């Protein structure tokens, strides 16, 4: 959900031109949806302050807590102790 939260925020600010609605985008995504939990928030709070974007920090916390591989092109995310597939 953190990724869709960021997409919605950027779309509403005019920083991202969405060709489809968020619901359609979510349905077309091959990735499962992860709810943001209190444990995710605590994990985000304890992350080193290498990356300062709150959305990306939540995604990092969720991947770390769940042992997931993060797909990203953001070089800042590579500096965390989380499995990454560079896109």
Q: Give residue 1's pLDDT.
A: 86
What domain count does the chain have? Answer: 1
41, 43, 48, 50: CA torsion to nearest 10: -50
Residue 68 has pLDDT above 90, yes or no: yes
In whole angstroms, give the CA distance from residue 17 to residue 31.
21
Show the domain range for 74. Answer: 2-86
Number of residues assigned to the chain: 87
pLDDT digits (tens, 9 = 90+) for 4-45: 888 899 999 999 988 888 899 889 988 888 999 999 999 999
pLDDT digits (tens, 9 = 90+) for 35-62: 999 999 999 999 999 999 999 999 999 9
Q: Give residue 77's pLDDT.
A: 94
Q: Give residue 70's pLDDT.
A: 92
Residue 66 has pLDDT above 90, yes or no: yes
């Amino acid at each position: 959900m953190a990724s869709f939260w960021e997409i919605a925020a950027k779309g509403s600010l005019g920083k991202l031109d969405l060709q489809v609605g968020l619901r359609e985008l979510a349905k077309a995504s091959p990735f499962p949806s992860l709810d943001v939990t209190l444990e995710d928030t605590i994990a985000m709070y304890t992350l080193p302050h290498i990356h300062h974007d709150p959305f990306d920090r939540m995604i990092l916390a969720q991947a770390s807590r769940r042992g997931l591989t993060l797909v990203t092109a953001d070089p800042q995310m590579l500096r965390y102790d989380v499995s990454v597939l560079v896109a």
